[in-house]
Amino acid sequence: MYLMDIFCKIINKEIPAEIIYENNHVIAFNDINPVAPIHVLIVPKTHMEGLNNLPEEGDQQHILNAAAEIAKQLGVSDGYRLVINCGEKAGQTVFHLHAHLIAGRDLAWPPG
């Protein structure tokens, strides 16, 4: 049996989130524990665990398109970072594919 993860519940509006962007393919909302002044999670509405479980064709393009659109909407097109943590060793804690859009402060490179 598949147990719904927290992001599926946000997609289904079963639990609240500060939704800032939504279309037929993705939903984006503020991270509950932001690491920067702007920290938005962009989540495909179709459940997939992470980058290792991508279908050949799917919502991946929509995630990238949404990121650029959200950055524009928030006025940070000139400087933002998109991060996908893949696997526990990389810090993935929610096993529903999502991209972090981070902006609003200087972003060091390489990341920690």
Catalytic residues: 98
> Based on CB atoms, which residue is closest to ligand 5GP, 17 or 42?
17
Tokens of 104: 């609003």
Using CB under 6 A as the criterion, which residues of the chain lie in contact with ligand 5GP when the complex forms?
Answer: 6, 17, 29-33, 41, 85, 91-94
> Based on CB atoms, which residue is closest to ligand 5GP, 33 or 57?
33
Tell me how far, at minimum, the Cβ of 95 lies from ligand 5GP, in Å: 7
Q: How many CB atoms lie within 10 A of CB 63?
A: 21
Tell me how far, at minimum, the Cβ of 62 lies from ligand 5GP, in Å: 19
> Based on CB atoms, which residue is closest to ligand 5GP, 29 or 80?
29
Strands 38-44, 26-30: pairing is antiparallel
Rg (CA), the chain: 14
Identify the H or E element spanning 40.
strand 38-44
